[in-house]
Chain A
Amino acid sequence: MLRHLLRTVNLFDTAKRALFLCFLAACSGRSGGDQTQSLLYYETYDPRSLDPALSTDVPTGEMVTLLFDGLTQFDPDGRILPALSDRWTADARGQRYVFHLRPRVNFHDGRPLIAADVKRAFLRVLNPQTRSGRVWPLLPIVGAADFADGRARDVRGIEVLGDTAVAFTLTEPLAVFPKFLAMPVAAIVPAAPSADFAQRPVGTGPWRFVEWQHDDYLRFAANSTYWGGAPRSESLTVRIVPEPLTRAAEFLAGRLSVAEIPFGETVKWEREHPDWLHRKPALRAIYVALNNRRGPLRDPKVRRALNHAVDVPAMLRTVWSGRGVAAAGSIPPALGGSDAGRKPYAYDTAQARRLLREAGVAQGFSVQLWRSGTNVELGRVAQAIQAQLAAVGVQVEIVSRDASSMREAVRKGDTDMAVLDWWADYPDADNFLYPLFHSASFGPGGNYSFYSDPGTDSLILAARRTVDQAAREALYRRIDNRVFDAAPWIYLWFPVDLWAAQPSLDGWDVPVIFNGQRWTKAHVAADR
């Protein structure tokens, strides 16, 4: 017995020693050395591809924005700036645009950029064999739709003017067209891209491609000959870190330069590290789409009643950690055309009851509220709404589905109500009106409430054709007001993004739009 006890002790000793060795190895194996000066960003999942034609989601779009340039670009505040085109002109109606190319721009492989590259790049996106899911930014060009459908061999609306300019003729005037061209899908790629282009991309952007380990990290090196000046840092590593709490830990361990603060941790970070935090109102709206074609929700009075029945400020404070501004309309306050004077629907259950009575549903009714099971925060919003609507007699059944199932149901119009968020593709009020409320955008186009009003439709189109910025913004205010009265949504809030940045990081700001941060000015100060 004694012998085996001794043996037991030995065994533990061995185990202990092994564990200790593990830790030793671990400590010496930490590869922190080369990372201190490098910029460390992250994505929540692996980008689809590095081919601009496939940039339909945020991670892909952000990576394309590092490697490539469009004719135009956005700064972190969402202002449109020149990029590959250093100046452009439009005719008086805003239907024909001429973009002049910046001289002496080279691709990463040394080839010079010429105007013909622009046309080839756009044709490549429109070509059905590319299987690009996002051709709509190019469809306003004359002949683009025919080319995409295989009915034409060329796009008549794109003219190459020598080596230095490209002209676009549009099917109808479109004031926001230059902003469409800043989207990643409209980035310029070199002629005849190689077969592994999506894996080893060559662009003109501030960063060159170095390495991509799928689901692990992407590595970029500064393009020292970048037309806009070389990035201040030598390298940029983008890690793939799916779990929000892990991201916070990675940031605290110094292995990420920036991190978005997880919702549950807001108060803790605000208390412990207030000086690391950066806030920025996002071009994003959180709302409940009310299906304007189903049951009692067809009646604007009922929809207004629902808006009066939810206590948005309380919800914003409790389930959203106060990270947002209550919405009075669909246009975020940072965009021209939003009306700061308009007041949100007041929380007033008596008013809600009165409206329901006027609509003939004083006894209440039952509806389904869909939420995506993958989005925990929106799920909490759904629960809060359920509880608050019950107080005015509206029975809400929450239907929780995975994002893909929910998207399908919402687009088909099979849901009564759905908690959703809408992210801007380009920083313009048009992006919060045309897709969300024009009847041509029903379903997949973004109009998930199936709101249809000929007056609104024609005003939205009129605004798109208006070249004068002030007149356009006045129109947007009018449209937003009109839609707000009809209440096709339960208007919730515009989120304010909350990020932490390492104190040693300089020249970085939270972008209002995903492709507004190109990391060219970011820099890690040596030992502070």
Chain B
Amino acid sequence: MLPLIGKRLLATIPTLFGVLVVAFLLLNVVPGDPVAEMVGERADAATIARLRAELHLDEPLPAQFGHYLWGVVRGDFGRSYITQRPVLGDLADRFPKTLQLAGAAMLLAATCGIALGVLAAIRPGGAVDRLSMFIAYVGISFPVYWVGLLLILLFAVALRWLPPSGYGGLAFLVLPALTLGTRSIAFLARMTRGAMLEILPSDFVRTARAKGLSETRVIGRHALRNALLPIITVLGLDVGNYLTGSILTETIFSWPGVGRYVLLAIERRDLPAVQGSILFMSVIFVLVNLLTDVLYAKADPRVAYD
């Protein structure tokens, strides 16, 4: 397993380089001018030209990219044009908060989603199945911002049980985690149900029952374990998405995470901040994918990597 991980990590270097090149080119192709965002609504041409020179934006693109790459290699993601703070520091400041929200949402999704899916599969067409189907429909079809605002109205304004938004203790985490997790709960429940329904009629499940194993053991150890592969795939994708910031949820709940940072950076054409964030997110994605692959092998010994 270890050589595999090492090899995969090495293979990420060209991937990340590719991401950097594409991000850099895209940012230079899209309309919008970082200097215009630095000077605000009213400025004179001389100031604009001076800032452009200060930021080396008047140099040819390959030279600009070279500067940037050289910085990244030395672990320097540069400073934001807008705030003049180091990009890496800003990301390090926000990532733990995103991690917290993603962790809570995933915990919620994994426990509720898988449990609902398993329960639904035990009695297809039964009450639990119909309930899980309902939750799935609601979760998948309602837009995140709508669910978020409704939750705020109910729990924060009408009932006053929880704060509407902001970052702080557990109380602040409940609503955004619920909002973010709902989609995953819905998707995971349907996924688990489908996989379980395929597995349950299998010979080995019948054998397990015939051996006299308890139903819990049959479902939990034999059936569920075999249904895990698609579940891990979905979880892996969601974790990747959540860890790179959930712009809508973070905006509605004033959560100081990575998603809002990136959004603001893009809006203001803050090139170092956008590039740094993209690189950071790519690293996260690559790592989560690697973890997912390792988990595949753990869950199913038949999966072997060369």
> Assuming the A-B contacts A131-B84, A425-B42, are A404 and B156 also in contact, with contact meaning beta carbons closer than 8 angstroms in the complex?
no
A249 pairs with B153, CB closer than 8 A: yes
B203: Cβ under 8 A from any A Cβ: no
- Do A405 and B252 touch across chains, with their CB atoms under 8 A apart? no
| CB interface residues, B 40-88, toward A, < 8 Å | 40-48, 50-51, 54-55, 82-85
B174 proximal to A (CB < 8 A): yes
Q: Is there a chain A Cβ closer than 8 Å to B93's Cβ?
A: yes
Among the listed B44, B47, B254, which residue makes an inter-chain contact with A241, where contact means beta carbons less than 8 Å apart?
B254
Q: Is the CB of B33 within 8 A of A408?
A: yes
Q: Taking the nearest CB of chain B, how far is it from the CB of A430, in angstroms?
A: 12
Q: Binding site of B, secondary structure by majority: helix, strand, loop or mixed?
A: helix
Determine the distance from Cα of A408 to Cα of B43 in the docked complex, in whole angstroms: 13
Q: Which of these binds chain A: B135-143, B161-169, B189-197, B288-296?
A: B161-169
Would B157 and A26 count as touching, CB distance under 8 A?
A: no
Which of A2-10, A287-295, A464-472 makes up part of the contact surface?
Answer: A2-10
A49 to B80, CA, bound (A): 11
Determine the distance from Cα of A286 to Cα of B246 in the docked complex, in whole angstroms: 33
Question: Is the pair B39, A56 in contact by a Cβ cutoff of 8 Å?
Answer: yes
Binds B, one of A162-170, A250-258, A386-394: A250-258
Q: Is the CB of B164 within 8 A of A444?
A: no
* Beta-carbon contact of A444 and B256 below 8 Å: no
Say yes or no: B39 contacts A215, CB within 8 Å.
no
Contact with A253, one of B30, B48, B94, B157 (Cβ below 8 angstroms): B157
Q: Known contacts A133-B43, A135-B47: does B170 contact A54 (CB below 8 Å)?
A: no
B306 within 8 A of A: no
> Taking the nearest CB of chain A, how far is it from the CB of B110, in angstroms?
13
Chain B residues positioned under 8 Å from A444 (CB to CB):
36, 39, 42-45, 48
For A22, list chain B residues within 8 Å (CB). Answer: 170, 174
Q: A25-B171, A246-B253 are in contact. Are A405 and B215 (CB under 8 A)?
A: no
Q: Which residue of B lies closest to A55 (CB)?
A: B40
Interface stretch among B2-10, B223-231, B235-243, B264-272?
B264-272
- How many residue pairs at the A-B interface have CB separations less than 8 Å? 190
Known A27-B171, A31-B168; judge A215-B267 contact (CB<8 A). Answer: no
Which residues of B lie under 8 Å from residue A366 when comparing CB positions?
A: none
CA distance A46 to B83 in the complex (A): 10
Give A441 to B42 CA distance when docked, in angstroms: 9
Per-residue CB contact flags for chain A residues 116-141 toward chain B (1 = under 8 Å, else 0) read 00000000000011010111100100
Total contacting residues, chain A, CB less than 8 A:
71
Kindly report which residue of chain B lies nearest to residue A213, judged by CB atoms. B256
Name the one of B42, B167, B214 contacting A446, with C-beta atoms under 8 angstroms. Answer: B42
The answer to whether B32 and A405 touch across the interface, beta carbons within 8 angstroms, is yes
Q: Assuming the A-B contacts A136-B44, A374-B267, A435-B42, are A253 and B163 also in contact, with contact meaning beta carbons closer than 8 angstroms in the complex?
A: yes
In angstroms, Cα B266 to Cα A285, docked, is 27
- Asked if B119 CB lies within 8 Å of chain A CBs, one says yes
What's the least CB distance linking A448 to chain B, in Å?
A: 10
Any A CB within 8 A of the CB of B285: no
**In the complex, are the beta carbons of B44 and A139 less than 8 A apart?**
yes
Give the chain B neighbours of A404 by CB distance below 8 A.
Answer: 31-33, 36-37, 267-269
Number of chain B residues whose Cβ lies closer than 8 Å to a Cβ of chain A: 68
Q: Which of A129, A136, A148, A214 contacts B256 (CB 8 A)?
A: A214
Residues of the A chain whose Cβ atoms lie less than 8 Å from the Cβ of B51:
131, 133
User: With A4-B215, A133-B51, A253-B156 as given contacts, are A25 and B170 in contact (CB-CB < 8 Å)?
Assistant: yes
CB distance from B259 to the nearest CB of A (A): 10
Min CB gap A517→B, angstroms: 20
One digit per residue, 1 when the CB lies within 8 angstroms of any chain A CB and 0 when it does not, for chain B 84-110 equals 110000100110000000000000000
B251 at the interface (CB under 8 A from A): yes
Given A131-B38, A404-B32, is A255 in contact with B264 using a C-beta cutoff of 8 Å? Answer: no
The verdict on A134 contacting B40 (CB below 8 Å), with A48-B82, A239-B254, A249-B157 known, is yes
Residues of B within 8 A of A (CB): 30-33, 35-48, 50-51, 54-55, 82-85, 90, 93-94, 112, 115, 119, 122, 128, 149, 152-153, 156-157, 160-171, 174, 214-216, 219, 251-254, 256-257, 260-261, 264, 267-269
Q: Which 3 A-B pairs have the closest CB atoms?
A: A404-B32, A215-B256, A56-B40
**A residues with CB within 8 A of B:** 1, 3-4, 7-8, 11, 15, 22-23, 25-27, 29-31, 45-46, 48-49, 54, 56-57, 128-129, 131, 133-136, 139, 145, 148-149, 198-199, 213-217, 239-243, 245-246, 249-250, 252-253, 255, 374, 401-405, 407-409, 411, 422-423, 425, 435, 441, 443-446
Q: List 29 A-B contacts (CB under 8 A).
A: A3-B216, A4-B216, A15-B115, A22-B174, A25-B169, A25-B170, A26-B161, A26-B174, A30-B171, A133-B39, A136-B44, A213-B167, A215-B256, A216-B166, A216-B256, A217-B166, A241-B254, A243-B252, A245-B152, A246-B253, A249-B149, A249-B153, A249-B156, A250-B165, A252-B157, A401-B31, A408-B36, A443-B45, A444-B42
